[in-house]
């Protein structure tokens, strides 16, 4: 059954009158999916629905194959945007080296209170200490000497 202007009008009226999608569908002789689908397509006002589908976590099955052709070459290097204020231990380490050039290597889950940075003295202009430089730049190192572990 096609959506004739009359049907669309009736749908709109019933929808705006607060009838449920299934009730409207029953009246129009279509499924509630058809009603809610059409309503959504018509940009009718979304009626009270607590359903939240926009959770951050990965959505499986629905989007299976991103198929990336250019994998980023530095998997171990964390982004600067990940920067968060570390716990209170910061004060102590600042006393030792207040120049601010401290290792930015993230430790723990950024979404967790115990998240902090390494903050050992950074090695030669790098954002990380010597140990974490070895981890962050492992790809480059391997590229040159094939070992260093």
Q: Which residues contact 107 (CB under 8 A, 6 or more apart)?
A: 115, 116, 117, 118
Within 56-129, residue ranges assigned H as helices are 90-96
Q: Which is nearer to DNA, 30 or 77 (CB)?
A: 30
Residue 55 vs 112, nearer CB to DNA: 55
Angle at 44 between CA 43 and CA 50, to 5 degrees: 105
Element (H, E) at 120: none
Binding mask 10-29 for DNA (x = CB under 7 A): ---------xxxxx------
The count of chain residues that interact with DNA, using the rule CB under 7 A, is 32
Q: Which is nearer to DNA, 51 or 79 (CB)?
A: 51
Check binding of 3 to DNA (CB under 7 A): yes
Q: Bridge-partner residues for 117, per DSSP?
A: 106
Residues that bind DNA (CB under 7 A): 1-3, 19-23, 30-34, 36-41, 46-53, 55, 59, 61-63
């Amino acid at each position: 059954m096609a959506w004739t202007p009359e049907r669309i009008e009736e749908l709109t009226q019933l929808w705006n009158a607060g009838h449920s999608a299934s009730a409207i569908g029953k009246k129009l002789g279509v499924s509630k999916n058809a009603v809610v689908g059409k309503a959504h397509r018509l940009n009718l006002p979304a009626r009270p629905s607590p359903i939240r589908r926009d959770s951050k976590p990965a959505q499986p099955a629905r989007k299976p194959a991103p198929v990336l052709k250019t994998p980023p070459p530095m998997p171990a290097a964390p982004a600067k945007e990940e920067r968060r204020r570390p716990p209170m231990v910061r004060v102590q380490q600042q006393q030792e080296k207040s120049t601010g050039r401290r290792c930015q290597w993230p430790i723990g889950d950024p979404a967790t209170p115990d998240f902090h940075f390494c903050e050992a003295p950074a090695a030669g202009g790098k954002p990380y200490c010597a140990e974490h430089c070895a981890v962050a730049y492992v790809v480059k190192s391997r590229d040159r000497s094939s070992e260093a572990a």
